[in-house]
Amino acid sequence: SLPVPEMPPCDVTPETYKGRDYDETMRVKKKHISPTKVPAYSEPLLLTQGKMQWLWDHEGRRYLDMFAGIVTVSVGHCHPVVADGLKDQIDRLWHTTNLYLTPPMHEYAEKLTATLPDHLKVCFFTNSGSEANDLAMALSRQYTKSFDVISFRNAYHGGSPYSVGLTAHGTWKHNYPNGFGIHHSVNPDPYKGIWGGSKCRDSPIQADRECGCMGECEAGGKYLGQLREVLDYSVSGRPAALFAEPIQGVGGAVQFPKNFLKGAFDLVHERGGLCVIDEVQTGFGRLGSHMWGFESLGLRPDIVTMAKGIANGFPMGAVVTTPEVAQAFTGTLHLNTYSGNPLATTAASKVLDVIESDGTQALCARVGGRLIHELAKLRDEFSIVGDVRGKGLMLGVEMVEDKSTRAPLNPADMMEIWDSMKSMGLIVGKGGLRGNTFRLKPPMCISESDADFAVAVMRKSISDFVNKS
């Protein structure tokens, strides 16, 4: 049996928790909290404090957070620059409305658009990524005067009654009408899809699957044929929009074949539709190579949606588009009470400052590169590790029953391994339709030693599982 890995040191001494005890908290959760919110792990964590990449539970136990509150704590828990900015703003102005001018909102809009290509200059601020994608869908339909929208199977673009139609995971579909006018094209997945293999991904680690491509990736062109069929068979003339993630997040860090999305954007643009890129999880330098995921793919989107890491966990989202598309909403009223909230935009502005001052994009490239190469060794070592993929600090480890069939590892076994990691102080997420992909998307402040610890814990947890008597 492998030894329990030693957690990297931390110079923070957590406060002693004096609040509601665990059993009482669980009682309240069961009685008063939405039953749809199923906690992670067999025994849910009661987290009481966080600092940068670290979290502490009610007993003072420390954890390395490799999931960042679902890819949301971008620059670190309670990052001092963001926290100090909020403390300063909280004594000045909490909220008015965006019917008035407030310095934080206007300063942030200018800073945010400066990170984007010149044609993307108009911001709509929202409260979440679901709301941002709702708004992007409405904008595209209003601008094009068309109704048909396309996304990909395995995509996740939100859980609201409107955006859940874009989402193509049956596990998120409740029994109410959704998806009217939305069509899902075949997911271009080089690991599990119809086409693709070891020559297809924009990733340091390719799928361990024989590829039928000769030289360059040919799978992308075949998946484009499927998208063209959706446009020909299901769309009434001009599409309103195509929605895509640079790397699918909730779907399990799935990457498309090289050049596929560029071809898809060209195809939709040729037919008069708009292209919406969902940067809710991939944005703000997380992929390492670029500030925005679409830049790494050579895309020219008409609309960009973002949320999660935008304000380091403060509830906020945004839609950024062209002046021409933005004009589509001027004929009628559109108002979000909390849009551009001074506290939210202050936090978001400080996040941009930290990304620049702390060099987070370069860190994502450096530490993420080390992490994915070390994770790839697990695929070589264990029969149940089917695929390792991703880029920067947006990585996935897909677990399987059998490497040849790529059948997903069953939920009970996933939970056993997941619980084991937690017991050694490592928090990771899960994703994919079957919940069989471990998601590693930490705050963008982790170190090489943190990455090594995460891999060591995963190795021990998987080893203990496969070697148990």
Question: What sign does the CA torsion over 172, 175, 181, 184 have?
Answer: positive
Q: At what angle do helices 342-357 and 360-381 cross, to 10 degrees?
A: 80
pLDDT tier for residue 35 given thresholds of 50, 70 and 90? confident
- Mind listing the pLDDT tens digit for each residue in 113-139? 999 999 999 999 999 999 999 999 999
Cα 412 to the center of its chain, rounded Å: 25
Report whether pLDDT(332) > 90: no
Instruction: Give the pLDDT band (50/70/90) at residue 71.
Output: very high
User: What's the pLDDT at 469?
Assistant: 62
Q: Which token pair is 351? A: 């996040």
The predicted structure's pLDDT at residue 430: 97
Provide the pLDDT for residue 76.
Answer: 98
**304 versus 215: which is more confidently predicted?**
304
Q: Is the pLDDT of residue 24 over 70?
A: yes
Residue 446 contacts residue 468 (beta carbons within 8 Å): no
pLDDT band with cut points at 50, 70 and 90 for residue 331? confident
Range 315-337 average pLDDT: 93
* Average pLDDT of the chain, as a whole number: 95
Mean pLDDT of 12-23: 96
pLDDT for residue 109 = 98
Under a CB-based contact definition with an 8 Å cutoff, are residues 89 and 346 in contact? yes
Domains plus CATH for the chain? 95-357 (3.40.640.10)
- Dist CA 188 CA 182 (whole Å): 18
Region 257-276 average pLDDT? 97
- In this predicted model, what pLDDT tens digit does every residue of 343-381 receive, in sequence order? 999 999 999 999 999 999 999 999 999 999 999 999 999
pLDDT of 164 above 80: yes
Torsion (CA) 411, 412, 418, 421 in degrees, nearest 10: -160
